Amino acid sequence: MKQTCFIMGMPVTIVCIDKHIQQADLDTIYQYFRYIDEKFSTYKETSEISQINNGNVKPNQYSAAMKTVLALCEQTKKETNGYFNILHNGKLDPSGLVKGWAILNASKILKEKGCRNFYVDAGGDVQTAGKNAEGTLWTVGIQNPFNNKEIVKVVSLDTKGVATSGTAMRGQHIYNPYSPHEAILEIVSITVIGSDVYEADRFATAAFAMGKQGIAFIEALPGFEAYMIDKDGVATYTTGFDAYCSSRTP
């Protein structure tokens, strides 16, 4: 079963090959993503995060989900030497962590429903589980940030997550908190493979904020690999990245 819905300003695709999964199961997942959008979207005035930023919701009124996400953001800030920072121009924006967190939670819901072979893709960030319909590993393509119709690398993933941070889709939306008024121009994308998509997403955001030093940060993280493309189209990748590469198209 495969379905794509446009939620959170992006296509969200679920593919599950376990035959007992029904449409109602996918509906539950999409309902969850809509809930996340209503709570964390900085583009919706009615969302909880917007209400917090407008001063209408006080800390003692935060929902459990909001408290969880803000705590995870603070933890990630500490783990990235401050490069992951959701406070910008006096406003909170946890988007650099929320998407991966939501995808991982959606995958957990699928597993609770007995799904063992699937992937969840939200705007190019992907959580995989099990095998595809051919009985082989799921493959994920890394786009050329200068030409979104071209795939520059294909990685094969065994129940892992992959996330990309960059400027190709949304422009300059990530900033270096130590130089907040300077655009990050020296790199255009960094793709991170991690134990799950939540881990990949949060560290990809921080690594991009670091600029060219981001690839070294990922290199030093046990269990993570990354592929970075700079402004000149030159790729740099971590020592273990090649182990994931496939000759197949996704």
Q: Confidence class of residue 168 from pLDDT cuts 50, 70 and 90?
A: low
Domain 2-244 has CATH 3.10.520.10: yes
Collect all residues with Cβ–Cβ distance below 8 Å to 244 and sequence separation of at least 6.
155, 156, 157, 193, 225
What pLDDT sits at residue 222?
A: 96
Average pLDDT, the chain: 93
What pLDDT sits at residue 185?
A: 87
pLDDT, tens digit, 9 for 90 and up, residues 53-85: 999 999 999 999 999 999 999 999 999 999 999
pTM above 0.85, yes or no: yes
CA distances from 184 to 95, 119, 207 (A): 18, 31, 11
What pLDDT sits at residue 249?
A: 42
What pLDDT sits at residue 184?
A: 87
Q: Confidence class of residue 170 from pLDDT cuts 50, 70 and 90?
A: low
Checking if the pLDDT of 171 tops 60, the result is no
- Show me where the domains of the chain are located: 2-244
What pLDDT sits at residue 132?
A: 94
Checking if the pLDDT of 250 tops 90, the result is no
Checking if the pLDDT of 172 tops 80, the result is no
pLDDT, tens digit, 9 for 90 and up, residues 20-55: 999 999 999 999 999 999 999 999 999 999 999 999
What pLDDT sits at residue 177?
A: 87
DSSP the chain: -EEEEEETTEEEEEEE--TT--HHHHHHHHHHHHHHHHHH-TT-TTSHHHHHHTT-S-GGG--HHHHHHHHHHHHHHHHTTT-S--EETTEE-THHHHHHHHHHHHHHHHHHTT--SEEEEETTEEEEES--TTSS-EEEEEEETTEEEEEEEEEEESS-EEEEEESTTTSS----TTSTTS---SEEEEEEEESSHHHHHHHHHHHHHTGGGHHHHHHTSTT-EEEEEETTS-EEE-TTGGGGB-SS--
What pLDDT sits at residue 248?
A: 46
Collect all residues with Cβ–Cβ distance below 8 Å to 52 and sequence separation of at least 6.
62, 66, 92
Q: Which of 19-28, 40-49, 98-107, 161-170 has the lowest mean pLDDT?
A: 161-170
State mean pLDDT over 208-234: 97
What pLDDT sits at residue 174?
A: 83
Q: Which of 63-72, 157-166, 179-188, 230-239 has the lowest mean pLDDT?
A: 179-188
What pLDDT sits at residue 247?
A: 53
